[in-house]
Chains A and B, each alone.
Chain A
């Protein structure tokens, strides 16, 4: 299995998804070898890791990374200015190529039946592994170049690498029907080649919060809180979130809107909040993870995912897992698996505001969305995703 990042070194959904799926596969007795492009310290003794940037005899050591699967080439160059001593190659694409070219070394002594590569950054590595070994290749699409572009022109180099992966793959897994449709429409992939395997969410920490929980220190009594978590980039739709907030505040002035995340739109979003005259209602929490993130989810009255294009979107499941109701964009994969969620077209600001106000105003709605949504999220597991993958592994070997 070829990946790119892994918790705790992840910056978003891909690493979490890779880990969740990998663990569930191992639980089901799949002998899994996980390959990352570079050495990181990974706290996991249940499956083996191999790294693309170290000789196999070398001692393991950790390296911080400035690379994330979400950066565009431009962002990557910008971010490098802030990062020192962590230089892989001249740019993201030579990094991808370097990963692919290291494959021969990595797999030469390994025995495996199926190659499974996650997202375009590792596609070339997967294709190379197939070329060398002749084993079947599955590419797993967590996001496409079109999702990242958020309505802008797609990066042609990304598109080309994706296309190479799709063409070389024996089968393609997409994380949603939504993404499957993009592959069919924009990449001309035939529908029969694609299998939808929805993501899961880490089981473990399901608690439905008590109604009378002690209020969070940052939240005044009687005040309502609406939460956004995600990178501040076009495709996550933070600007739509703010415009809906503007409408909500007209009706319910005692509402705070919390934005947790960072990204290339951060300054634009801060400016926009001021321009809309709602700066006093909008709070920027920065990038949050772990316990801080969990507390944000818990203290929110509603979690909003306003994405312009979201292949899956795992954060609503995280919000539901602590008993916070969710409002999600119809342009998201997660909306295919959640019935107990409010849904809205990301561009329909009025409807988004209407639904936010409904949740804040009608407590029975909040309670039911939280309770039933929590139950529903519990059933969206990585074990189910792993079962589908295993079925596919078996089918593909028999051919």
Chain B
């Protein structure tokens, strides 16, 4: 028996507009860029929806309807769902239609696609809760398997998931961690009682997500039969092949003219030709296979770059400083009890903001693989810090108001009811 466990990650951040120092104290809208650039969040959402989300949803619904064995999982960021709920209800509906088939599992995540776990555990837990409520409200599903932002993972996170009742957690199947072991089995995370670990088969995942349209690649052109042959070669030395990738792979990272949609359309049928093959969602995979060993990840692993670490988000001084500054605000900002202010602060925690400040690709000379809606990482930092400066001013103002309100009206403070 060999099963394919698919999860597609769907996320769009609230990008900060070119927020200048002159806007501080005047304009509190950080995410409403209206230009013809890639900082305009609605514009990007529309573009990616047309190229990727809408056609892929339609195709997946068709595949679910024609293949009763076909199933997969989505990991949605909360900020993505909140954007489509407001601006693109028909897109949300098409995702809901997929989930309604009962064969699409939803994964737990942080609402804000943040790196909060590494900076503030209480804030991390609030965001995970907020995400769970959102999935329940929009899809009527409570997630049982957790994956963290950028597939970041370490022993501490696994133990947190274990303690909080998650059946499973996801990580990169990175060779230095696995050594001689295969990613194609279920494992126990170190020192966990109940939680199981699913490891991404990054070679087979990246064949689709990164290399599919690359004409210089030896595997090009990749067809469903060829790919299924590669997957089938794991019969006898693996139980589950875990393919994790960005949902935008279909139609956005790999354009339609690469044949990516034909590939996806043919995949289930081709894979199921082998009588011993099947599809399983992450939870089914965890339930159906016994763990074969324990995996120890003492330092943080992600799915990014050849380093597979957090350096794309925390590698340089400005990234570290920005992260420090935003989490330093936690106590004061929560004390304001101002929902809009707290929401803005959390949107600024989204990992993409810090990724845009990354400078490590300069030295590789390999800037092409790196997407940045800002002219330079420094422009990203300046816009972010100016917005954060304004957030700080709002916090100070709110707290000052609160104090004066409390002292003058000790019983009924108008702000405490917000």
Residues of A within 8 A of B (CB): 247, 251, 339-340, 342-343, 350-351, 353-355, 357-358, 361-362, 364-365, 367-369, 371-372
Q: List chain B residues, Cβ under 8 A from A355.
A: 382
Q: Are B359 and A351 in contact (CB under 8 A)?
A: no
Q: Are B22 and A342 in contact (CB under 8 A)?
A: no
Q: List chain B residues, Cβ under 8 A from A353.
A: 21-22
Q: A358-B385, A358-B386, A371-B317 are in contact. Are A365 and B378 (CB under 8 A)?
A: yes
Count residues of B near A (Cβ-Cβ below 8 Å): 19
Contact of A350 among B22, B316, B385 (CB under 8 A): B22
Q: List 22 A-B contacts (CB under 8 A).
A: A247-B22, A340-B359, A340-B362, A342-B378, A343-B375, A350-B22, A354-B20, A354-B386, A358-B381, A358-B382, A362-B321, A362-B382, A362-B385, A364-B318, A364-B320, A364-B321, A365-B381, A365-B382, A367-B317, A368-B317, A368-B318, A369-B378
Q: Are A358 and B21 in contact (CB under 8 A)?
A: yes
Q: Does B376 contact A (CB under 8 A)?
A: yes
Q: List chain B residues, Cβ under 8 A from A340.
A: 359, 362, 378
Q: List chain A residues, Cβ under 8 A from B20.
A: 350-351, 354
0 or 1 for each of B311-327: is its CB under 8 Å from A? (1 = yes): 00000111011100000
Q: A354-B382, A365-B318, A365-B381 are in contact. Are A339 and B21 (CB under 8 A)?
A: no
A384 to B20: give the CA distance in the assembly, Å: 38
Q: List chain B residues, Cβ under 8 A from A354.
A: 20-22, 382, 386
0 or 1 for each of B361-378: is its CB under 8 Å from A? (1 = yes): 010000000000001101
A327 to chain B, nearest CB (A): 10
The interface residues of chain A, by DSSP majority, are classed as helix
Residues of B within 8 A of A (CB): 20-22, 316-318, 320-322, 359, 362, 375-376, 378, 381-382, 385-386, 389
A9 to chain B, nearest CB (A): 38
A361 to B389: give the CA distance in the assembly, Å: 10
A261 to B20: give the CA distance in the assembly, Å: 30
Contact of A357 among B21, B320, B362 (CB under 8 A): B21
A365 to B21: give the CA distance in the assembly, Å: 15
With A364-B318, A372-B359 already in contact, 6 other A-B pairs whose C-beta atoms are closer than 8 Å: A339-B359, A340-B359, A342-B378, A354-B21, A357-B21, A368-B316
Q: List chain B residues, Cβ under 8 A from A342.
A: 376, 378
Q: List chain B residues, Cβ under 8 A from A367.
A: 317
A182 to B39: give the CA distance in the assembly, Å: 31
Measured CB to CB, the nearest residue on chain A to B375 is: A343
A365 to B378: give the CA distance in the assembly, Å: 8
Measured CB to CB, the nearest residue on chain A to B388 is: A362
A251 to B316: give the CA distance in the assembly, Å: 28
Contact of B317 among A350, A351, A364 (CB under 8 A): A364
Q: Are B317 and A251 in contact (CB under 8 A)?
A: no
Measured CB to CB, the nearest residue on chain A to B367 is: A339
B387 to chain A, nearest CB (A): 12
A131 to B39: give the CA distance in the assembly, Å: 57
A324 to chain B, nearest CB (A): 15
Which of B21, B321, B381 gathers the greatest number of chain A CB atoms within 10 Å?
A: B21
A247 to B22: give the CA distance in the assembly, Å: 9
Which of A353, A355, A362 gathers the greatest number of chain B CB atoms within 10 Å?
A: A362
Q: List chain B residues, Cβ under 8 A from A362.
A: 321, 381-382, 385
B42 to chain A, nearest CB (A): 24
A255 to chain B, nearest CB (A): 13
Q: List chain A residues, Cβ under 8 A from B378.
A: 340, 342, 365, 369
A147 to chain B, nearest CB (A): 23
Q: Are B362 and A339 in contact (CB under 8 A)?
A: yes
A346 to chain B, nearest CB (A): 15
A247 to B378: give the CA distance in the assembly, Å: 20
A250 to chain B, nearest CB (A): 9
A368 to B318: give the CA distance in the assembly, Å: 7
Q: List chain A residues, Cβ under 8 A from B320.
A: 364
A253 to B88: give the CA distance in the assembly, Å: 47
Measured CB to CB, the nearest residue on chain B to A372 is: B359
Measured CB to CB, the nearest residue on chain B to A248 is: B21
B254 to chain A, nearest CB (A): 29
Q: List chain B residues, Cβ under 8 A from A251.
A: 21
A251 to B26: give the CA distance in the assembly, Å: 14
A370 to chain B, nearest CB (A): 10
Q: List chain A residues, Cβ under 8 A from B322.
A: 364
A211 to chain B, nearest CB (A): 13
Measured CB to CB, the nearest residue on chain B to A376 is: B362
A174 to B365: give the CA distance in the assembly, Å: 23
